């Protein structure tokens, strides 16, 4: 829209109101009615000032949103990084607890397998002892049949088994507590991940930055353009007032046309007009006539810019609302993390307690149990072997006994022969020389031969052809050597050779 001082005009547009269309005729001079109509239309167009006020409020609000956007975007990004780090740390703790449990459980299964194998070996050895009878000839007459198992302390095996069972029960109880703690930990992590997934996605990313800076720039542009458009309306209004003041009866007609308009309308015509030549007046009217057609377009442009600014502000507000919702959700996640961090201390303590129980109680007990089962199995195997060797030893002793007995009998017969020989020799000497030798020449001259006897030192019971000992033999307390069957000795020898 142009003024007498400037040839610039409003942007041309194909649309105009009907009044302006009727009044515009380059071949017809402008009448007072035309000028009044232009004045009324221009005065009405100034109502778009409310759009400028709203535009100013929108720009102010957008500036505040721009600041809040920067703060919230930075805060939310920082909190997301913190949340990611905390989640990684919590999951690291959870993996660590799993690693400890898996390591302990693997070693527990290995030791349990070794313990079962050792116990099975011991049970196999004990079964042999149960099935190995004591030879009846080794026991007093009338004694019930006994087996090797009857001579061992079975309470040792039972007590150790009960002790190991109690140890395993304590381990299972500790592991059960750890499992409950881990389940609670997993549930907390699941709730945390679910809450994180429900956090609104950040509306701005590296590839899709925040729209608010662009919106704010556009709003400023719209506000500036609207203000400039409104200034052109003001200049057009001033031009209308000037034209009416330089037209006879124009001031009165304008005042009458505006009716109950503000007092300022009348005040605008109270001052005397500045002098103007007819040529200047005609030039002014030409500009006025041309600009009058563009008033509606300028008003529409201002209102459209106002509407666009309202829409852009709503976009910015939507973005900020999203950021605020994200901020609220992230703060909730931080509170959840704080609560979970407190719980994690208990989960770690439970894991440490489980590990300490394993190192200080279960593992040493199982290792000791494996060693004890092996020692007992080895001892009872040696016991079984010793009994087999005892049977072989008894057989050997019996053979030596029989050989000694034969030698003793042979010696006894030789002694008796020598005694008889000595006795006859002495009798023959006495008959030949006794009458010539006085008795006091040697006190032992008439003594009988010294008699020697081979006898048993100890007790030998009457069994299998052996005579019962007399009272003199009983004083020595020597037991007889039993006679074992040949098959018994052969089985014993086979067992001894098999284990050598």
Token pair, residue 321, equals: 């609302």
Q: DSSP letters of 419-447? A: HHHHHHHHHHHHHHHTTTS-GGG-TTTTP
In the chain, the largest separation of any two C-alpha atoms, in whole Å, equals 220
**For residues 323 and 326, what is the distance between their CA atoms, to the nearest angstrom?**
5
Q: How far apart are CA 244 and CA 242, in angstroms?
A: 5
8 Å CB contact between 9 and 290: yes
413 within 8 A of 159, measured Cβ to Cβ: no
Token reading at 190: 């699941």
Place of tokens 């030998």: 460
**Torsion angles phi and psi, residue 2, rounded to 5:** -95, 165
DSSP string, 170-218: HHHHHHHHHHHHHHHHHHHHHHHHHHHHTSPPPS--SSS--SHHHHHHH
Q: Is 254 exposed, middle or buried (0-12, 13-18, 19+ CB in 10 A)?
A: buried
Distance CA 194, CA 197 (A): 5
Instruction: Give 78-109 pLDDT, tens digit per residue.
Output: 999 999 999 999 999 999 999 999 999 999 99
Range with the poorest average pLDDT among 124-128, 186-190, 272-276, 306-310 = 272-276
The span from the CA of 449 to the CA of 405, in Å, is: 25
Q: For residue 19, is pLDDT > 60?
A: no
Query: Which DSSP category does 273 fall into?
Result: P
Q: Provide the token pair at 437.
A: 């030798």
- Token code pair at residue 296: 């509606």
**In DSSP terms, which residues pair with 147 in a beta bridge?**
133
pLDDT value at position 15? 35
Query: In the prediction, which pLDDT does 273 show?
Result: 67
**242 close to 42: Cβ distance less than 8 angstroms:** no
Burial class (CB in 10 A: 0-12, 13-18, 19+), 58: buried
Q: What is the pLDDT averaged over residues 384-393?
A: 91
Residue 318 scores a pLDDT above 60: yes
Residues in CB range of 469: below 8 A, 6 or more apart: 456, 458, 459, 460, 461
Cβ neighbour number for residue 15 with a 10 Å cutoff: 10
CA atoms of 436 and 426, how far apart (whole Å): 15
For the segment 443-483, what is each residue's pLDDT rounded down to a tens digit?
888 889 999 998 887 654 444 444 444 444 444 445 678 88
User: Over the stretch 143-170, which tens digit does the pLDDT of each residue have?
Assistant: 899 999 999 888 989 999 999 999 999 9
Percent of the chain surpassing pLDDT 90: 57
Q: What is the mean pLDDT of residues 287-298?
A: 88
pLDDT at 37: 85
With tokens 């989640």, the residue in question is 87
Q: Which residue has the higher pLDDT, 286 or 57?
A: 57
The full DSSP string for 329-340 is: HHHHHHHHHHHH
Amino acid 206: pLDDT: 63
For the chain, the domains span 18-302
> pLDDT for 328-347, tens place per residue?
999 999 999 999 999 999 99
Q: Is residue 187 over pLDDT 70?
A: yes
DSSP 272: P
Do residues 76 and 330 lie in contact, with contact meaning Cβ atoms separated by under 8 Å? yes
Q: Tell me the pLDDT tens digit for each residue of 245-268.
A: 777 776 677 776 776 444 344 455
Q: Could you tell me the pTM of the whole model?
A: 0.67
Q: Which of 14-28, 126-140, 280-294 has the highest mean pLDDT?
A: 126-140
* CB contact set of 373 (below 8 Å; sequence gap of 6+): 115, 118, 119, 121, 122, 160
Please tell me the distance from the alpha carbon of residue 351 to that of residue 94, in angstroms, as a whole number: 10
- Residue of 398, 381, 410 whose CA lies nearest to 464: 398
Arithmetic mean of pLDDT, 180-199: 94
Backbone CA torsion sign across 361, 363, 364, 368: positive
Rounded CA separation 500/480 (Å)? 29
Q: What is the mean pLDDT of the chain?
A: 84
Most confident among 112-116, 271-275, 467-471, 494-498 (mean pLDDT):
112-116
Alpha helices for 4-48 (secondary structure H)? 18-23, 32-45
Task: Enter the tokens of residue 374.
Answer: 């092996």
pLDDT at 484: 85
Long-range contacts of 451-459 (CB under 8 A, 24+ apart): 451/419, 452/415, 452/419, 453/412, 453/415, 454/408, 454/409, 454/411, 454/412, 454/415, 456/408
Q: 289: pLDDT confidence band, cut at 50, 70 and 90?
A: confident
């Amino acid at each position: 829209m142009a003024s007498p001082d400037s040839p610039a005009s409003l942007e041309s547009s194909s649309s105009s109101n009907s009044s302006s269309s009727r009044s515009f005729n380059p071949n017809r001079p402008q009448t007072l009615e035309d000028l009044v109509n232009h004045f009324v239309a221009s005065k009405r167009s100034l109502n778009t000032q409310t759009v400028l006020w709203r535009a100013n409020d929108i720009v102010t609000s957008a500036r505040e949103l721009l600041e809040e956007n920067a703060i919230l975007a930075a805060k939310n990004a920082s909190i997301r990084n913190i949340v990611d780090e905390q989640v990684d740390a919590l999951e690291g703790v959870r993996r660590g607890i799993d690693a400890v449990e898996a390591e302990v459980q693997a070693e527990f299964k290995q030791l349990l397998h070794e313990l079962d194998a050792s116990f099975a070996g011991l049970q196999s050895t004990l079964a042999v002892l149960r099935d190995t009878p004591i030879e009846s000839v080794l026991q007093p007459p009338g004694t019930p049949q006994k087996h090797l198992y009857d001579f061992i302390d079975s309470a040792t095996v039972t007590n150790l088994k009960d002790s190991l069972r109690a140890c395993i029960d304590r381990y299972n109880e500790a592991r059960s507590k750890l499992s409950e703690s881990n389940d609670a930990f997993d549930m907390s992590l699941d709730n945390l991940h679910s809450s994180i997934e429900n956090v609104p996605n950040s509306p701005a990313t590296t590839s899709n930055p925040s729209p608010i800076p662009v919106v704010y720039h556009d709003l400023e542009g719209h506000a500036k353009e609207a203000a400039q458009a409104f200034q052109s309306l003001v200049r057009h209004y001033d031009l209308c007032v000037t034209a009416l003041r330089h037209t006879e009866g124009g001031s009165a007609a304008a005042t009458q046309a505006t009716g109950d308009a503000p007092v300022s309308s009348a005040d605008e015509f109270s001052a005397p007009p500045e002098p103007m030549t007819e040529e200047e007046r005609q030039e002014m009217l030409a500009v006025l006539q041309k600009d009058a057609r563009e008033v509606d377009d300028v008003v529409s442009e201002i209102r459209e810019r106002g509407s666009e600014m309202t829409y852009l502000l709503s976009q910015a507000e939507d973005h900020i609302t999203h950021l605020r919702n994200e901020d609220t959700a992230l703060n909730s996640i931080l509170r959840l993390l704080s609560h979970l961090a407190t719980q994690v201390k208990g989960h770690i303590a439970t894991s440490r307690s489980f590990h300490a129980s394993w190192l200080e109680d279960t593992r040493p007990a199982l290792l000791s149990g494996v060693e004890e089962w092996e020692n007992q199995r080895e001892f009872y195997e040696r016991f079984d072997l010793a009994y087999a060797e005892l049977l072989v030893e008894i057989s050997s002793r019996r053979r030596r006994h029989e050989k000694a007995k034969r030698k003793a009998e042979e010696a006894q017969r030789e002694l008796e022969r020598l005694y008889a020989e000595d006795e006859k020799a002495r009798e023959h000497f006495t008959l030949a020389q006794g009458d010539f030798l006085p008795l006091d020449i040697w006190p032992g001259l008439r003594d009988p031969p010294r008699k020697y006897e081979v006898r048993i030192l100890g007790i030998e019971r009457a069994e299998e052809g052996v005579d019962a000992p007399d009272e003199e033999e009983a004083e020595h307390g020597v037991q007889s050597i039993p006679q074992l069957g040949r098959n018994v000795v052969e089985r014993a020898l086979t067992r001894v050779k098999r284990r050598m």
